[in-house]
Structures are given as C-alpha cells and as structure tokens.
Amino acid sequence: MRTLRFVFVVGGVLSGLGKGVVTASIGNLLKYCNYKVTAIKIDPYINVDAGTMRPTEHGEIFVTEDGGEIDQDLGTYERFLDKNLSKNNNITTGKVFLNVIQKERSLEYNGRNVQLIPDISDEVKRMILEASKNCEISLVEIGGTTGDIENLVFLHAIRELSEEYPSATVMVSYLPFLKNVGELKTKPTQHAVSRLREVGLFPDFLVIRSESGIDEVRKDKLARLCFLPKENIIGDPDVETIYEIPLIFEEQKFHEKILRKLNLPVRKPANDEWKEFVKKLGSGEKLKIGLVGKYVKYGNSEHKDVYISVVEAVKHASVVAGVNPEIVQVSSLNIEKNGVEILNELHGIIVPGGFGSSGIEGKIEAIRYARENNIPYLGLCLGMQLAVVEFARNVCKLRGANSTEFDPNTPNPVIDIIPEQKELIEKKMYGATMRLGAWTAVLKRNSIVHKIYGKEKISERHRHRYEVNPKYIEVLEKSGLVFSGISPDGILMEFIELPEHRFFVATQAHPEFKSRPTKPHPLFVAFLKACKELKNGRKKRRKTLIS
Ligand code: GLN
C-alpha cells in the first residue's frame, strides 16, 4: 500500500456553493483512475451528529450502513464514489470535544492542562487518519467558509497534516456577476484566499462557481492575485445535473493536475458507465411523480434538499426504466386544505420518511387516493406506517386508527412505539438511539418485493422508533394487506404490499440511501415502470380495488 495522500477542500465567500459535489466529483474521477479513495466531511457544529437536527432547516439526514445519522454530503459522496462510508467519515466539533473530554476524565493526558491546540487539533488529526485507513487518497471537506470562527481548529489540523503527508488544497469559491457593470467580480475570492493564508494554508487549486463559467481574463487576474498557476483555476458552472460535474472536471484535466500535485502516476479515468448514465439521464418518456411531504419555510426560504436521496434514487432508476420523471413537490398541508385534486395529473405517488404530526392527515389522504385509484404508490418508512393507518381506517374500518406518534390516545394504535424505544424516550435519550443502520429482512416467497429484489434475504438502512403493532397484523391481513417482508426474528414488519393493485409497495426501511447512479435501486425501478404503464394506459383499471 502506498502512503496516504490528502485532498483538502475548503470554501470561500459563501456556503452552499456545492463543496460537497466538488469533493465527490474529484473523488469520482480519482476512483475511476483506479485509486482507493475515501471522503470525510467535517462539520464545525457542536451537535455530535445530525440526528437531532431539523431537516427542514438543515436538509436531509443521511443514514450510513453502520447507523450514522449524518450530513447529506455523505450521501453525495456515497453516490459519486459508489462506496459505503462509515459514520466515522463525519467529524463534528461535538464528536471531537466529546472524545477529548472523555480522555481527560480518564486521566489520559497525565494531569497536564488540555488545550484547543494541540489537544483538540490532535484529536481531529487522529480521527481523520482513522477514517482514512486503507486508502490511497483521502478527501477531507471542511464545512463552512474560511474566516468562520468555528472551523479554525480544523484548518489548523489540516495545515499540520498537509506538512506531514503529500496533499493538495482546493478552495471552492464564487464569482458574483454584477449586472450593473456586466462583469464577474473576483475581489471576494481574493479576500477568501487571503483569509486562508492567515491560517498558513495556500490553495493549490481554485474551483470557481459562477452561473456562466469563468473567462480567461478573470483566470489571469485570480492567478496573479491569489498566487497560483492559471491552469490550476478550474471552472465549475451551473449545470443541469450535478452528475455532469466530474465530466466537466475531466475536460479541464483536473484529475491529472491533482495526481501530479500528489506525486502519483497520472491515469485515464475508466468512466464509460458514468458517461453513459449522464447521457441517458433525462432522455426517457416524461412522467409526473408526486413526492408528498413537509415543505416548510425557514425564514423566507425553503430547504431544497429535505428528500434529496429519494429524488436522486428516482433519477438513478429513471435511466433503467426509460423515463424522465418530473418530481412534483406536494405539500401534505396543501392536500389537507384543498383536497386531493392536486394529485390528478400524477403517474405515481411517494410518501417519504418523516417525524411529527404536521401534515399527517394530508399524507394519509394521498395514500388513500393512490390505493383507490390504482395509482402506483411507494411508501418509505413513515410512508409505510401511514399506508397501514389508511388501510386500517378505510378498509378494516378500525375507528380512529393511528400511530401513537400522532395520537397517543387512539382507540386503534396500529402503529406503536418499539418497546425499547419507549424506555429511551422516557429517559430523554434522543441522540443516536433510534433503530438505525442496516437491518436484514426476510421476504415472502413469490411476493411482489421478492420478485423485485430477486432474493429472499435483503438488507436496508433504517431510522425509526415506531413499528406495526403486532396485535393488528391478523385483522389487517384478513382484509387483504400482505406483510411481505419481516425481520429475521419475525417481530418487525418490514414490507407491505397489495397484490391486486398496479403497484402498492411500502417499506419500513429507507431504500433510497442505497441507490447509486450506475446501480439504481430495484424498488424504485419497479415503481417507475408501473408509473410508465399507467401513463401508457396499459392495464388501465381505475376502480376501487379494496374498499
Ligand atoms: N416517525 C416515524 C418513526 O419514528 C417514521 C420515521 C421515518 O420516517 N424515518 O418510526
């Protein structure tokens, strides 16, 4: 094994520029150059992980195989690297301090005083090295922008690492276009670079975000004022799909320049499969898929990435299903106010995961609409729980059926808290205590999901506290609901389906987290194929199936 090398990615001027996509795209190219690559995200917040954060404010909470509840950038890394990452690939201020304080309490510092530098920065380095084990190139992205108080100690740590290991530092920055003068402005980037120099780091590359791309004049200017060769300024314009970014970088020979900086042999990326995927994306038959969720404003804006893994999983599957789906964001609160008419144009409905009672009845109405009108339905986690509630209420006629998460006094608690979870909540132990990460399910022979997966034992990632109440299984089954996947111990219901429906499948898991561009998830592919059938009027049968 060769020595480890680092690519550090930092941000300037603005956050939200797509540093995660830049990091993932560099990783994608180097992986296709046949290097062993990993990617680490540093989040300077004090939360130990993202599990306690509000997605409407922070974006999706991604779940890893080993049960990490993580910043959504880890999802982007997994999709671009086609690799499962560990929860250790996310380092937060909270995690670092927790480790150091625990060491201090157990006298590991031998009675000396424990300080930000070197003790916190050493712990950061230790955690980065631990997560980079068995890799040739480790990409480390530092959240936020240079000049933030929060990320200073992390920048200090990577400066030390950059002296100890061959490394390249990439700064992602932004050139605003000033309409009144008709010009791209470089000054904010010059300032950002000088802030980076203050902590002893010099960017080897500048990746420049802008709406239209960067021209030669601006490259010359930045090269001279930021002290780096002109060819190390890489353009990163707005694109239709983020999956194009590795190819835009390849055209600019970014991978070759990085490999040279790292003193590694230059290779040509063997990325035909990726190119094929990008070429086909968006070329199939048009469809409208409703994603019925919580779309909540935070201040004046609404976070775009609350369901990002679901949206991406639909895109990946669309290439294999030969469709070009438009994802329509349907607010379940809007259904509650204005009824289900807004669902009329849709060829398929997804209810994704969620927490809290807001908009729940709207989601249940959307599921009822899909079930009664033979419209393909895919339920993910909460989307399965609510499908059970809807079926219990409207088919089994179980009065007031609900999940105890939303109505603790329901006369028919068809969804109830998992007993161990109840104890944790009573002790206020919220962080990292849900049923998390990869769990196996056994699929019923010849069920729809068995045919879709093509095997009996499958594994998917989870993040939940509630489950189908075993006391209601018999009555639900009697009315035609099939529990087609169950945990190996026979206790937890993992999949449901309606055999007579065009496509009505839901799971307690989050299959969206395992979908990859060149390895789409079979459940999403099957769902989109059913939506295509509906659009083409095949097996056209819009009647109530079970009522
Ligand atoms: N709120 C539900 C539970 O905790 C569903 C969670 C989810 O959709 N991820 O069980």
- Nearest CA among 176, 172, 235 for reference residue 204: 172
Q: What is the 3-state secondary structure (H, E, C) of 489-506?
A: CCCCEEEEECCCCCCEEE
Going from the Cα of 60 to the center of ligand 1, the distance in angstroms, rounded, reads 13
Going from the Cα of 382 to the center of ligand 1, the distance in angstroms, rounded, reads 5
The yes-or-no verdict on residue 113 having pLDDT over 80 is yes
Q: What is the pLDDT of residues 359-411, one digit of tens each?
A: 999 999 999 999 999 999 999 999 999 999 999 999 999 999 999 999 999 99
d(CA 109, CA 105): 9
Residue 510 known to be catalytic: yes
pLDDT at 295: 85
The yes-or-no verdict on residue 544 having pLDDT over 50 is no
Residue nearest to atom 8 of ligand 1 (CA): 353
Phi, psi for residue 71 in degrees, rounded to 5: -50, 145
Phi, psi for residue 206 in degrees, rounded to 5: -115, 125
Cβ of 382 closer than 6 Å to ligand 1, yes or no, is yes
Q: What is the pLDDT of residues 372-386, one digit of tens each?
A: 999 999 999 999 999
Q: What is the DSSP code (8-state) at residue 234?
A: E
The yes-or-no verdict on residue 1 having pLDDT over 90 is no
504 DSSP β-pair partners: 377
Q: How are beta strands 482-486 and 167-174 bridged, if at all?
A: unpaired
Phi, psi for residue 276 in degrees, rounded to 5: -60, -45
Cβ of 280 closer than 6 Å to ligand 1, yes or no, is no
Q: What is the pLDDT of residues 252-267, one digit of tens each?
A: 999 999 999 999 999 9
- Nearest CA among 517, 530, 503 for reference residue 321: 530
Q: Which residues contact 463 (CB under 8 A, 6 or more apart)?
A: 61, 63, 69, 353, 381, 434, 435, 436, 510
Q: What is the pLDDT of residues 452-479, one digit of tens each?
A: 999 999 999 999 999 999 999 999 999 9
Residue 531 known to be catalytic: no
Considering the segment(s) 5-276 as one domain, its CATH architecture is 3-Layer(aba) Sandwich (3.40)
Q: Where in the chain is the domain with CATH 3.40.50.300?
A: 5-276
Q: Give the number of residues written for the chain.
A: 547
Q: Where in the chain is the domain with CATH 3.40.50.880?
A: 282-538
CB 305 within 8 A of CB 61: no
Going from the Cα of 473 to the center of ligand 1, the distance in angstroms, rounded, reads 19
- What mean pLDDT is predicted for residues 166-193? 92
Between 178 and 300, the higher pLDDT residue: 178
pLDDT band at 547 (very low <50, low <70, confident <90, very high): very low
Q: What is the pLDDT of residues 145-162, one digit of tens each?
A: 988 999 999 999 999 999
pLDDT at 56: 80
Within 10 A of 45 (CB to CB), how many other CB atoms are there?
16
Q: By percentage, how much of the chain surpasses pLDDT 70?
A: 97
The yes-or-no verdict on residue 545 having pLDDT over 50 is no
Q: What is the pLDDT of residues 195-247, one digit of tens each?
A: 999 999 999 999 999 887 889 999 999 999 999 999 999 999 999 999 999 99
Coil, strand or helix at 485 = strand
Q: Which residues contact 56 (CB under 8 A, 6 or more apart)?
A: 294, 295, 296, 298, 302, 303, 306
- What b/e readout covers 316-345, taking b as 16+ CB neighbours within 10 angstroms? bbbbbbebbbebeebbbbebbeeebebbee
The yes-or-no verdict on residue 433 having pLDDT over 60 is yes
pLDDT band at 539 (very low <50, low <70, confident <90, very high): low
- Residue 467 CA: nearest ligand 1 atom is 10
pLDDT band at 542 (very low <50, low <70, confident <90, very high): very low
Q: What is the pLDDT of residues 476-517, one digit of tens each?
A: 999 999 999 999 999 999 999 999 999 999 999 999 999 999
pLDDT band at 54 (very low <50, low <70, confident <90, very high): confident
Burial class (CB in 10 A: 0-12, 13-18, 19+), 141: buried
- What mean pLDDT is predicted for residues 324-338? 96
Q: How are beta strands 285-293 and 323-331 bridged, if at all?
A: parallel
pLDDT at 480: 98
pLDDT at 439: 98
CB 74 within 8 A of CB 49: no
pLDDT at 531: 98
Going from the Cα of 512 to the center of ligand 1, the distance in angstroms, rounded, reads 15
Considering the segment(s) 282-538 as one domain, its CATH architecture is 3-Layer(aba) Sandwich (3.40)
Mean of the per-residue pLDDT values for the chain? Answer: 94
Residue nearest to atom 3 of ligand 1 (CA): 464
Active-site residue, selected from the candidate residues 381, 390, 396, 531: 381
- What mean pLDDT is predicted for residues 328-347? 96
From 310, 403, 466, the mutation candidate for ligand 1 (largest count of ligand atoms within 8 A of CB) is 466
Within 10 A of 111 (CB to CB), how many other CB atoms are there?
7
Going from the Cα of 466 to the center of ligand 1, the distance in angstroms, rounded, reads 6
- What mean pLDDT is predicted for residues 274-300? 91
Q: By percentage, how much of the chain surpasses pLDDT 90?
A: 89
